[in-house]
Amino acid sequence: MTSQERKVLFFGVGSVGSVYLYLLSKIVSTTAVCRSNYDVVKERGFTINSTVFGDGLHVAPHVDPHPFDYVILTCKVVPGIYPKIIKPVITPGHTVIALLQNGIGIEEEYATAFPENPILTVATYCATALGPPGVVTHKEVEKLEVGSYPSSAPNTRAQAFISLMQSTGATATLFDDVQVKRWYKLLLNSSWNLICALTLSLDVQFMQSSDGATDFVLDVMLETRDIAKAYGYEIATEEVKAQWERATEEPSMLQDLKAGRKREVEAIVGNVVRMARAKCVACGTLDTIYLLMKALDARMGGNK
């Protein structure tokens, strides 16, 4: 099958999803499932202004009948919902399910729901923000770190997915066990993403708020590192500090909070706390952040 004959469904297309939707639409048939932005995207498509790929990019997805070769999830992680929703478009033994999503411990529900389908799990770096409806700003970084789930599964489909993405100009790399890369990204999400949302502050604002602020962020990252180690994933202190020093501008969870969108509390911190307890790893700071985020989530709601 040539790339032109392939059919790809994007499920939950926000700012990150729109970038990869645009890239893949150049070479394959693409269908998008949208929710809060449905009316705007149906009428006008997406406009993307990217420092990596160019300004004024436009993509207008259309609707293809399945079978789909790939179903790519770029939606927020909400446990227990999406395997049921995507089931009608998954062809057993054929459709590759790719999770371009945040968090840790998110794959098993898909593996359980679709035992005959390859599952790809991807640590995604794509700095984006939503502007006016249907308009996306993309800056600085674009990188996909890809692996099969479980890590013992054959990498044939993962390599084919990487080749497809690379042919669009995307940056994609294969890892035999990509979970270490997911844990590494989680250092950033479990700290800056959550702290900025809880305090309604940008990273620099939080660091300037008190003498102990930056050390607090590092403590959160070190707890996350210790939990990763308990599951066999070593992250060097130098790598932790690299994430600690990384500027995040306005993290995605702060953007989501301001816009009333769903926040990935369970995938980013809830699963981490539960995994720490299962291995008897101390996680007092993360546990506190989790309790605070759950309270904020209950108060703020977020159904978009």
pLDDT in tens, 98-129: 999 999 999 999 999 999 999 999 999 999 98
Residue 260, pLDDT above cutoff 90: no
Once rounded to an integer, what is the mean pLDDT over residues 266-292? 97
pLDDT band at 258 (very low <50, low <70, confident <90, very high): confident
Nearest CA-CA partner of 146 in 122, 112, 163? 122
Once rounded to an integer, what is the mean pLDDT over residues 233-249? 86
Residue type, 181: K
Residue type, 255: Q
Domain boundaries, the chain: 3-176, 180-299
pLDDT, position 243: 86
Instruction: Report how far residue 225's alpha carbon sits from residue 55's, in angstroms, rounded to the nearest whole number.
Output: 38
Nearest CA-CA partner of 264 in 85, 75, 100? 75
Nearest CA-CA partner of 218 in 201, 199, 203? 203
pLDDT, position 3: 57
Higher pLDDT, 175 or 12: 175
Residue 96, pLDDT above cutoff 90: yes
Once rounded to an integer, what is the mean pLDDT over residues 218-224? 96
- What top-level class would CATH report for the domain 3-176? alpha beta
Instruction: Report how far residue 226's alpha carbon sits from residue 231's, in angstroms, rounded to the nearest whole number.
Output: 9
Tell me, yes or no, if the two domains 3-176 and 180-299 fold the same way. no
Nearest CA-CA partner of 226 in 291, 280, 150? 280
pTM score:
0.93
pLDDT, position 304: 47
With both helix axes pointing from N to C terminus, report the angle between 271-278 and 213-230 in degrees, rounded to the nearest 10: 60
pLDDT, position 223: 97
What architecture does CATH give domain 180-299?
Answer: Orthogonal Bundle (1.10)
Once rounded to an integer, what is the mean pLDDT over residues 249-267? 86
pLDDT, position 259: 81
Instruction: Report how far residue 248's alpha carbon sits from residue 125's, in angstroms, rounded to the nearest whole number.
Output: 12
